[in-house]
Amino acid sequence: MYKHLLILAVLCVFGYNIKAQNCPSVETTATEIRNHLDYLASDQLLGRNTPSPGLDTAAEYIIARFKELGIKPAGNSYRHTIGLQRQHLGSGNSMTLTISGKTTDIPLKSGFIPFLFSADTTVESAIVFAGYGITDTAWGYDDYRGLDVKGRIVVVLSDGPKGKGIIPAERLNSEESKVQNAILHGAAGFVMVNGPARRLILKPRGYPWPSLSKIMPDDLMPVNIADPEKKHIPAVHAGEQVIEAIWGSVEGLKSIQAKLDDGASPVSVPITESSMSINTSVKTEYLSADNVAAILEGSDPVLKDELLVIGAHYDHVGAGRDKGDGSDFIFNGADDNASGTSGVLAIAGLFAQQKVAPKRSVMFILFAGEERGLLGSQAYVRNPVVPIEKTVAMINLDMISRNGDSLFLEGSAACPELTEIVRSKNEKTGLNLILDKNELTGGSDHASFSARGVPFLFFISGLHKDYHKVSDNPDKSDALKAARTAHLGFLTAWQIANEDQHYTLNK
């Protein structure tokens, strides 16, 4: 007995032999994961929305675990603050249009609606019609060719040209990039109307502001990474009233759109004897949330400058309204992603228990804001602790506690050498590895790294009926499954962190 234990201890100390998984047992890791998961997915944390006090409490818990393990902060602090912002529609939004001496007040909501990305300011100027508002140099298409829009308000059509010189749908600009294109050309204001040739509904869309539509509760307004560099101008979506005031009728604009689609002649023109005044009141609320990151410095004098990132998002989507009738209103996010968070903590624990540090440095990072669009991982890759070129691989754990033995390695075809490591380590772990699926590839934090050229592994046990529902509760999570995944993740990570190979990322 004693001798046997000694052998295991020796294996545990000296390297990444497959036997390292016996130290400690998966059952021990499962107990640890159960504790983390039950706490992180408890009602007390109210679904860990970004940002929220519950998320902050979860961050405290994670930091306490890193301290217990003796793993140091990555950078000056375990907390890496992400500057966030959220927009609200202010009061006093207005729009006035004068054509050949005739002035029309366009009402908010039925006549025009500011876009989410509009500036908070007033503009008054003559107007210029700029076609679809698209500049696609590579395609040889430019609605702004020969047009001077400096200081002017541009009016553009939704969508893109059809017919001659058609631009494929995937090259079409988003509404926001049409605004950015207008800004690049010096425009001071932006008005979009639906192109009546292909759109039956001409009502203003803009954004479903809670105060205008009641569709969206105020606290569910999207949160974005604050970008002080980004330029804004008043930007609105306008309806039929504006079309009629400028072109006399919807039919008038339809015939212009037909010419535009024909590609026969440029139809972008200044609108004569026109002026427009737009005041958009869009208030920015500044917020913040934290990624939590710890680093284990490598032991090899050269390889320690290289980094393996092991991450998971610790946020979820928060809570709905308490109806007071005892019905569940908390999105606990046990599988999504208290499980992956617990898995990363377990892997950190397995690393910390090795007597020798790995050759490469290893960072354990828990991201905020994944559910709001990979905000935490995007903020990290913009401002990494170790230069991104030195990051040899990223392992992402997102939803690892469901669906029996099945473990998907999503997008694995992109990273063949890394996949091969997992496949060989799994010979002992015995999970049902499902390789080369690509259905869920873009949907989690590894995507922020792969976009910067970092090879990745994405462990996910697959979707289920409780996905993004209040029923994603801790009792439905299989802690043993998560522990087996964590052990497989550890064995894989231990090898990556101890070799000097660089891995391929096929795009």
Residues forming contacts to Zn ion in the complex (CB under 5 A) are: 336
DSSP alpha helix (H) spans, 371-410: 375-382
Residue number, 147 or 374, with CB nearest to Zn ion: 374
* CB-CB contact of 452 with 504 (8 Å): no
Cα→Cα distances 324→49, 116, 183, 321, 471, Å: 21, 33, 49, 9, 18
- Closest approach, Cβ 446 to Zn ion, in A, equals 14
Query: What are the tokens at 141?
Result: 């298409």
The CA distance from 55 to 333, in Å, is: 12
Residue number, 65 or 316, with CB nearest to Zn ion: 316
Burial class (CB in 10 A: 0-12, 13-18, 19+), 404: exposed
Q: Strand 94-99 relative to strand 102-106: parallel, antiparallel, unpaired?
A: antiparallel
Residue number, 290 or 336, with CB nearest to Zn ion: 336
Residue number, 129 or 459, with CB nearest to Zn ion: 459
The CA distance from 190 to 121, in Å, is: 12
Query: What are the tokens at 119?
Result: 């500036």
* Partners of 296 in beta bridges: 362
- Closest approach, Cβ 500 to Zn ion, in A, equals 36
- Closest approach, Cβ 115 to Zn ion, in A, equals 27
- Closest approach, Cβ 467 to Zn ion, in A, equals 7
Residue number, 367 or 380, with CB nearest to Zn ion: 367
Tokens 């301290």 sit at which residue?
Answer: 67
Residue number, 261 or 336, with CB nearest to Zn ion: 336
Residue number, 131 or 318, with CB nearest to Zn ion: 318
Residue nearest to Zn ion (CB): 336
- Closest approach, Cβ 461 to Zn ion, in A, equals 13
Instruction: Say how many C-beta atoms besides its own lie within 10 A of residue 239's C-beta.
Output: 22
Q: Determine which helix (DSSP H) or strand (DSSP E) holds 57, and give its type and residue range.
A: helix 53-69
The CA distance from 372 to 377, in Å, is: 11
- Closest approach, Cβ 458 to Zn ion, in A, equals 13
Residue number, 245 or 399, with CB nearest to Zn ion: 399
Length reported for the chain:
507
Instruction: Say how many C-beta atoms besides its own lie within 10 A of residue 4's C-beta.
Output: 8
Q: What are phi and psi of 172, to 5 degrees?
A: -70, 145
- Closest approach, Cβ 311 to Zn ion, in A, equals 15
- Closest approach, Cβ 472 to Zn ion, in A, equals 9
